[in-house]
Amino acid sequence: MSREELVALARSAAQRAHCPYSHFHVGAALVAGGKVYTGVNIEISSYGLTLCAERSALAAAYSDGAREVTEVAVACIDAPADAPLDLRTPCGACRQWLVDLAPHAIIYIDGDARDFTIEDLLPYPFRLS
Protein backbone atom coordinates (compact mmCIF):
# COMPACT_ATOMS: atom_id res chain seq x y z
CA MET A 1 0.00 0.00 0.00
CA SER A 2 1.34 3.42 -0.93
CA ARG A 3 1.64 6.40 1.38
CA GLU A 4 -1.20 8.09 -0.55
CA GLU A 5 -3.49 5.07 -0.11
CA LEU A 6 -2.81 4.87 3.64
CA VAL A 7 -3.42 8.60 4.08
CA ALA A 8 -6.64 8.26 2.07
CA LEU A 9 -7.75 5.49 4.44
CA ALA A 10 -7.03 7.73 7.42
CA ARG A 11 -9.07 10.50 5.81
CA SER A 12 -11.98 8.20 5.15
CA ALA A 13 -11.82 6.77 8.70
CA ALA A 14 -11.97 10.35 10.06
CA GLN A 15 -15.47 10.64 8.68
CA ARG A 16 -16.48 8.04 11.27
CA ALA A 17 -15.03 10.01 14.21
CA HIS A 18 -17.28 10.42 17.22
CA CYS A 19 -16.55 14.04 18.13
CA PRO A 20 -19.80 15.68 19.29
CA TYR A 21 -17.93 18.20 21.46
CA SER A 22 -14.96 19.38 19.39
CA HIS A 23 -16.39 18.56 15.96
CA PHE A 24 -12.75 17.95 15.01
CA HIS A 25 -12.64 14.71 13.03
CA VAL A 26 -9.41 12.73 13.16
CA GLY A 27 -8.63 9.41 11.50
CA ALA A 28 -5.61 7.15 11.68
CA ALA A 29 -4.63 4.19 9.54
CA LEU A 30 -1.68 1.96 10.22
CA VAL A 31 0.03 -1.09 8.76
CA ALA A 32 0.99 -3.90 11.12
CA GLY A 33 1.79 -7.49 10.28
CA GLY A 34 0.71 -6.94 6.70
CA LYS A 35 -2.77 -5.79 7.69
CA VAL A 36 -4.31 -2.33 7.87
CA TYR A 37 -6.08 -1.02 10.95
CA THR A 38 -7.96 2.23 11.34
CA GLY A 39 -9.03 4.33 14.29
CA VAL A 40 -10.95 7.50 14.99
CA ASN A 41 -11.17 9.96 17.86
CA ILE A 42 -13.92 9.07 20.28
CA GLU A 43 -15.15 11.76 22.65
CA ILE A 44 -17.29 11.30 25.74
CA SER A 45 -18.97 13.72 28.12
CA SER A 46 -15.96 13.61 30.44
CA TYR A 47 -13.76 15.33 27.88
CA GLY A 48 -10.44 14.31 29.40
CA LEU A 49 -11.24 10.68 28.74
CA THR A 50 -11.39 11.23 25.00
CA LEU A 51 -9.56 8.65 22.92
CA CYS A 52 -7.51 9.99 20.02
CA ALA A 53 -7.54 8.39 16.59
CA GLU A 54 -3.92 7.25 16.81
CA ARG A 55 -4.45 5.39 20.09
CA SER A 56 -7.70 3.98 18.75
CA ALA A 57 -5.88 2.51 15.72
CA LEU A 58 -3.01 1.18 17.83
CA ALA A 59 -5.49 -0.48 20.20
CA ALA A 60 -7.28 -2.08 17.23
CA ALA A 61 -4.01 -3.49 15.89
CA TYR A 62 -2.79 -4.78 19.23
CA SER A 63 -6.22 -6.22 20.02
CA ASP A 64 -5.94 -8.22 16.80
CA GLY A 65 -2.56 -9.56 17.87
CA ALA A 66 -0.54 -7.39 15.49
CA ARG A 67 2.71 -6.01 16.87
CA GLU A 68 5.16 -4.77 14.24
CA VAL A 69 3.71 -1.43 13.16
CA THR A 70 5.56 -0.19 10.08
CA GLU A 71 3.54 2.84 8.96
CA VAL A 72 1.04 5.18 10.60
CA ALA A 73 -1.01 7.82 8.78
CA VAL A 74 -2.96 10.56 10.57
CA ALA A 75 -5.58 12.83 9.03
CA CYS A 76 -7.27 15.82 10.67
CA ILE A 77 -9.86 16.46 8.03
CA ASP A 78 -11.23 19.61 9.66
CA ALA A 79 -7.89 21.40 9.60
CA PRO A 80 -7.94 24.09 6.92
CA ALA A 81 -5.83 23.25 3.87
CA ASP A 82 -3.27 25.90 4.83
CA ALA A 83 -3.20 25.04 8.54
CA PRO A 84 0.22 24.63 10.16
CA LEU A 85 1.55 21.29 11.35
CA ASP A 86 0.33 22.04 14.90
CA LEU A 87 -3.25 21.38 13.84
CA ARG A 88 -2.50 18.01 12.26
CA THR A 89 0.18 16.35 14.34
CA PRO A 90 -0.28 13.69 17.06
CA CYS A 91 -0.79 14.95 20.62
CA GLY A 92 1.70 14.24 23.39
CA ALA A 93 -0.16 11.21 24.73
CA CYS A 94 -0.30 9.64 21.27
CA ARG A 95 3.43 10.27 20.78
CA GLN A 96 4.14 8.27 23.92
CA TRP A 97 1.88 5.46 22.67
CA LEU A 98 3.77 5.53 19.38
CA VAL A 99 7.13 5.33 21.19
CA ASP A 100 5.97 2.29 23.13
CA LEU A 101 3.86 0.50 20.51
CA ALA A 102 5.15 1.62 17.09
CA PRO A 103 8.77 2.65 17.67
CA HIS A 104 9.93 1.83 14.15
CA ALA A 105 6.97 3.20 12.21
CA ILE A 106 7.16 5.82 9.51
CA ILE A 107 4.56 8.46 10.33
CA TYR A 108 2.62 10.28 7.63
CA ILE A 109 0.62 13.41 8.44
CA ASP A 110 -2.03 14.37 5.94
CA GLY A 111 -1.20 17.75 4.42
CA ASP A 112 2.54 17.52 5.13
CA ALA A 113 4.85 15.91 2.60
CA ARG A 114 7.45 14.77 5.13
CA ASP A 115 7.94 11.24 6.47
CA PHE A 116 8.40 11.44 10.23
CA THR A 117 9.86 9.04 12.76
CA ILE A 118 8.75 9.03 16.36
CA GLU A 119 12.21 10.40 17.25
CA ASP A 120 11.33 13.45 15.11
CA LEU A 121 8.10 13.97 17.02
CA LEU A 122 9.21 12.99 20.53
CA PRO A 123 12.91 13.35 21.23
CA TYR A 124 14.21 12.05 24.57
CA PRO A 125 11.11 9.93 25.31
CA PHE A 126 10.38 8.11 28.54
CA ARG A 127 11.15 4.41 28.23
CA LEU A 128 11.03 1.72 30.92
CA SER A 129 13.30 -0.68 29.08
Euclidean distance between CA atoms 70 and 95, whole angstroms: 15
Q: Which helix (H) or strand (E) holds 32?
A: strand 26-32
Which residues, numbered 34-93, are part of the site for ligand THU (CB under 6 A)?
Answer: 41, 43, 50, 52-54, 90-91
SS3 107: strand
In the complex, what is the shortest distance from the CB of residue 28 to ligand THU, in angstroms, rounded to a whole number? 8
Q: 4, 5, 54, 71: which is the annotated catalytic residue?
A: 54
**Residue 114: how many other CB atoms lie within 10 Å:** 9
Q: Which of 1, 4, 22, 35 binds ligand THU (CB under 6 A)?
A: 22
Which residues lie near ligand THU (CB under 6 A)?
Answer: 19, 22, 24, 26, 41, 43, 50, 52-54, 90-91, 94
